[in-house]
Amino acid sequence: MDRLSHVVVFGECMVELVNQGKDTLTKGYAGDTYNTAVYLKRCTPGTSVSFLTSIGADFLSNELLFKMGEEEINTDLVYRSETRNLGLYMVQTDEHGERTFAYWRDNSAATQTMNLKGDTPLSADLFYFSGISLAILDEIQRCKLFALIKTIRETGGKVVFDPNYRPRLWQSRKEARIWTDLAYANADIAFPGGDDHLALYDHTDVDAIHAHVTALGVAEIVVKNGAAGVHIFTKGNHCIVPVERVARVVDTTAAGDAFNGGYLAARISGKSVTESAGYGAKVAATVISFPGAIVDKGAFSTRVNTASSVSP
Ligand code: ADP
């Protein structure tokens, strides 16, 4: 992949409240595409990463802006809603380590991003979005998003898509399939996950996933499947990259998001698809060794070198 200097990541970042005991919560900021933006930037600091989203006028929104500054993510594409707030979710872990999520995101500021953005022009060398970015928009805004994606591709930008299927964000599985297929049809790189494709399309193996996504025209397909290894399909080539064993998995939240960030950082740094998958797996392995979606920056950097400094 040619060196790409300007990445735009589109989606929603929410307030994350994690239950730490009976009446104690810790607060963070996370969301699938935001997590990818954070890890992509940490892994390739020389790349400009902008997060396209909307926030509110509330104090939590201000705090998120500050966090984005700490992560050196550009806030030039963050719009403000005067009437809506940030979405919020809460994670509770039971005594067996099983996690339960509760969401308050239905009317969040981020559901209005394409309306708030209006016709402001936007360019990107690489544009990243997910099935969640798409699901939270109404149909008119989804069409605006695809119009934007069309202009980005016409001007030479590459588009990356992760389906991240969340049934409760869609009216029906049929609706989710239609829009997810349209997203694949407009993507150059895709990150289908085994669980997502089973739930959304009843695909039970990698071959079925590959056949479906290839038929929609995606040139670089990276199939993730937890600890089972990564399958990459490019122009008739198929390779399998094993995933390193993690001695103690603490919290798998954001594993896929972190993988995507690492993979793209390595591709932007000129690495091959197999090198990039190995690096993405290393980033994901680090993230699942700590609690929460966003791992402390210091702890992360002691374990993961930047993508450009990693040798094959
Ligand atoms: P998602 O979060 O999208 O469901 P996966 O569960 O497929 O994603 O995991 C994404 C990546 O995280 C995998 O490709 C792998 O590199 C890493 N990963 C996930 N679970 C494990 C595990 N138990 N051991 C090692 N690596 C893992």
Token readout for 253 is 């939240």
Q: What is the count of structural domains for the chain?
A: 1
Give per-residue pLDDT as tens, 88-127.
Answer: 999 887 776 677 889 999 999 999 999 999 999 899 999 9
Is residue 312 a part of any domain in this protein?
no
Q: Is residue 120 part of a domain?
A: yes
- 284 CA from centroid of ligand 1 (Å): 7
- Amino acid identity of 131? G
CA angle 23, 25, 27 (to 5 degrees): 165
User: Ligand 1: which atom is nearest the Cα of residue 229?
Assistant: 14
pLDDT single digits (tens) 140-195 = 999 999 999 999 999 999 999 999 999 999 999 999 999 999 999 999 999 999 99
Residue 157 maps to a domain: yes
Q: What is the pLDDT of residue 312?
A: 62
> Is 282 inside any structural domain?
yes
Does residue 35 fall inside a structural domain? yes
> Phi-psi region for residue 226, left (φ > 0), alpha (ψ -120 to 50) or beta?
left
Number of C-beta neighbours around residue 274 at 10 A = 15
Q: Is residue 1 a part of any domain in this protein?
A: no
Domain range for 18 is 6-306
How confident is the model over 133-153, as pLDDT tens digits?
Answer: 999 999 999 999 999 999 999
- Among 252, 273, 286, 289, the mutation site with the greatest number of ligand 1 atoms within 8 A of its Cβ is 252
Is residue 311 a part of any domain in this protein?
A: no
Catalytic residues: 257
Residue 49 belongs to what H/E stretch? Answer: strand 48-55
- Tokens describing residue 194: 């085994």
Per mean pLDDT, which range of 98-102, 125-129, 197-201, 234-238 is the poorest? 98-102
Task: Tell me what pLDDT residue 34 has.
Answer: 98
pLDDT value at residue 245: 86
- The domain that holds 237 is classified in CATH as 3.40.1190.20
Q: For residue 152, how many other CB atoms are within 10 A of its CB?
A: 20
β-pair type (78-80, 48-55): parallel
Nearest CA to ligand 1 atom 25: 227
